[in-house]
Amino acid sequence: MNTAEIQALNDACIINTYGARKLAIARGEGATLWDADGREYLDCFAGIAVCNLGHCHPAVTEAIRDQAGKLLHVSNLYYIEQQARLAQLLSQHCFAQKWFFCNGGAEANEAAIKITRRYWAQKGTPKPHIVTADQSFHGRTMATITATGQPKYHQGFEPMVPGFRYVPFNDLAALEAAITPEVGAVMLEPIQGEGGVRMPADGYLRAVRELCDARGILLIFDEVQTGLGRTGPLFAHQDFGIQPDIMTLAKGLANGVPIGAMGCTDEVAQGFSPGAHACTFGGNPLSCAAALATLETLTGPGFLDRAKAVGNSFMDQLKALAAEHPQIVEVRGKGLMIGVEFKEPVAPLITRMIESGIICGPAGPNVLRFLPPLIVTEEQMARVVSVLAACLGELGW
Ligand SMILES: *Cc1c(COP(=O)(O)O)cnc(C)c1O
């Protein structure tokens, strides 16, 4: 089918939650995508920070093929070797000692919210409230849209789930005031993604950790977007010299096979006992085999350092470009999670970029966001900068 045929079929039978889409992608390899009409693109969005190893990475493809020929699914009524090995490997690379697997980011955050509430309930000191940040994004289930500090995601879905309160990101005094005795946790993205690629202020995350310790409550990091090498280290919090009590992962964990994970300390893991939580597909052999191959590749020698260097040089070039274009308010981000804020909506710019063969996307109305696969080269990203410069020229920005 060509793009027009796919669009017509889509519009006839898909519920319109995504609006008009520009492309129908048919094939990918590395950082290159081809649409249904055969046009080629350089992918700078990686399926929203999912395909961190690029499309159809041979190690992941091989793991999927191999596992698909052995066993796809058995449910968590039985032990699953790939699931246990994935948990072990994840634990070798971060603070979390215990894991729960599910199918995506919202489910991982649901698990984090539920284990937090149950942890405090079991201790006999219920603290069901959770503080999150304005402009945050935590998913689309009822509890996770409630956790999401953006009213536009709540509209029409009221009543919200009780027990959430919001503070401005980077405002420590507001957080301090929000932590009353019924608050059991603070939940943050270490770098806000969907809300506009917003960086934590210097010292903010460390101060949040100290505040949580002082008040004896839990810190949850939603690393669904920032995790798996996206910002430089394997997990974003590792560059800030602190650890949360709970961390959630999804997007990049299996390079495109659906999976989510909630990891926590041994202490917090006590919050869930048999029967407390479950997920039919969670941690199934296929998704875990893909995640194992992904994680082994990401943590291979030099992989993350190389991606970080490409990100740094891309960032430098964008900053130089910003100096020549008054429409650019700020270039920010870390590693290969980069946002360019403009004075006006970026939709026309994204359209021009795609027409010029570069796939990128927004983060809120005025921020152009780049989330390329971590395997992109300096040459590819230099091409992105020159295409961007040309598109800005065409728009008179
Ligand atoms: C994408 C995202 C989610 C939601 O993940 P889904 O897999 O779409 O449910 C949650 N938190 C953050 C930070 C995200 O970027």
According to CATH, the topology of domain 59-298 is Aspartate Aminotransferase; domain 2 (3.40.640)
CA distance 317 to 389: 11
Task: Note if 137 is an active site residue.
Answer: yes
Local structure of residue 202 (DSSP, 8 states): T
CA neighbor of 170 nearest in space, from 194, 189, 146: 189
Q: What b-and-e string marks burial along 364-379, b requiring 16 or more CB atoms within 10 Å of the CB?
A: bebbbbbbbbbbbeee
The 3-state DSSP class for residue 297 equals helix
Amino acid (one-letter) located at 58: P
Which residues are CB-neighbours of 264 under 8 A, at least 6 positions away?
96, 97, 98, 99, 112, 115, 245, 246, 247
Q: Which of 95, 100, 137, 303 is catalytic?
A: 137
Amino acid (one-letter) located at 272: F
CA distance 280 to 336: 33
**Across the chain, what does the average pLDDT equal?**
98
DSSP helix, strand, coil percent of the chain (3-state; round to 5): 40, 20, 40
323: CA distance to ligand 1 center in Å? 33
CA distance 196 to 267: 34
Contact 49, 252 (CB under 8 A): yes
pLDDT digits (tens, 9 = 90+) for 326-343: 999 999 999 999 999 999
Using the Cα atoms of residue 310, residue 311, residue 312 and residue 314 in order, give the sign of their dihedral. positive
Contact 304, 233 (CB under 8 A): yes
70: CA distance to ligand 1 center in Å? 30
Q: Which atom of ligand 1 is nearest the CA belonging to 225?
A: 15
CA distance 392 to 376: 23
Q: What is the pLDDT of residue 22?
A: 82
Helix axes 285-298, 303-324, angle to 10 degrees: 70
Q: Which of 251, 314, 342, 370 is catalytic?
A: 251
Rg (the chain; Cα; Å): 21
Residues enclosing ligand 1, CB less than 6 A?
104-106, 109, 137-139, 189, 193-194, 222, 224-225, 250-251
| Whether the predicted pLDDT of 180 surpasses 90 | yes
241: CA distance to ligand 1 center in Å? 24
**Given its phi and psi angles, is residue 124 left (phi above 0), alpha (psi -120 to 50 degrees) or beta?**
left
Q: For residue 385, which phi and psi values (nearest 5 degrees)?
A: -65, -40
The domain segmentation of the chain, as residue ranges, is: 3-56+307-395, 59-298
pLDDT digits (tens, 9 = 90+) for 49-75: 999 999 999 999 999 999 999 999 999
CA distances from 255 to 241, 289, 297 (A): 27, 11, 11
pLDDT digits (tens, 9 = 90+) for 87-139: 999 999 999 999 999 999 999 999 999 999 999 999 999 999 999 999 999 99
Nearest residue CA, atom 8 of ligand 1?
105
Task: Note if 171 is an active site residue.
Answer: no
CA distance 34 to 300: 28
Q: Spell out the alpha helix ranges (H) of 260-300.
A: 266-269, 285-298
DSSP track, 1-42? --HHHHHHHHHHHS-SSS---S--EEEEEBTEEEETT--EEE
Q: Which two tokens stand for residue 56?
A: 């159809």
Through-space distance between the first and last CA atoms of the chain, rounded to whole angstroms: 37
CATH of domain 3-56+307-395: 3.90.1150.10
pLDDT digits (tens, 9 = 90+) for 200-251: 999 999 999 999 999 999 999 999 999 999 999 999 999 999 999 999 999 9
CA neighbor of 244 nearest in space, from 218, 216, 214, 225: 218
CA neighbor of 68 nearest in space, from 286, 284, 294: 286
Nearest residue CA, atom 15 of ligand 1?
225
Beta strands 129-133 and 183-188: pairing type? parallel
Task: Note if 266 is an active site residue.
Answer: no
| Whether the predicted pLDDT of 305 surpasses 90 | yes
Helix axes 378-395, 347-355, angle to 10 degrees: 120
225: CA distance to ligand 1 center in Å? 7
CA neighbor of 231 nearest in space, from 374, 335, 372: 335
CA distance 296 to 300: 6
